[in-house]
Amino acid sequence: MSPRRVHLRITGLVQGVSYRASTRDAALELGVRGWVRNLSNGDVEALAEADAQIIEHFITWCRRGPEEARVTGVQIDEAATTEALNGFEVRR
């Protein structure tokens, strides 16, 4: 199965609630490669790559987030595979 790479923009109460750290933990548990970071407008952005079925599980997790988060939306765009992704990191 070929990998799928998606760019996600998560909206709602997603900063100050451990969303990035929890996203990293979920990604590592699922075997997703990529990164997550806060945006200046209060959203969270992520780039994720894994087999299509795993990406669907990851997106489902992102729609829920950690217990303290209140996700109101997840924008999903297919992303080009222009950079190599190893592991999953929290970016500043």
Catalytic residue among 20, 63, 86, 92: 20
Instruction: Determine which one of 38, 41, 64, 70 is catalytic.
Output: 38
91 as an active site residue: the answer is no
Q: Torsions phi, psi of 41, nearest 5?
A: -90, 5
Beta-sheet strands, E only, within the chain: 3-13, 33-38, 44-51, 70-78, 88-91
4 is catalytic: no
- In the chain, DSSP finds a helix count (H) and a strand count (E) of 2, 5
Is residue 18 left, alpha or beta, with left meaning phi > 0 and alpha meaning psi from -120 to 50? Answer: left
Annotated catalytic residues are 20, 38
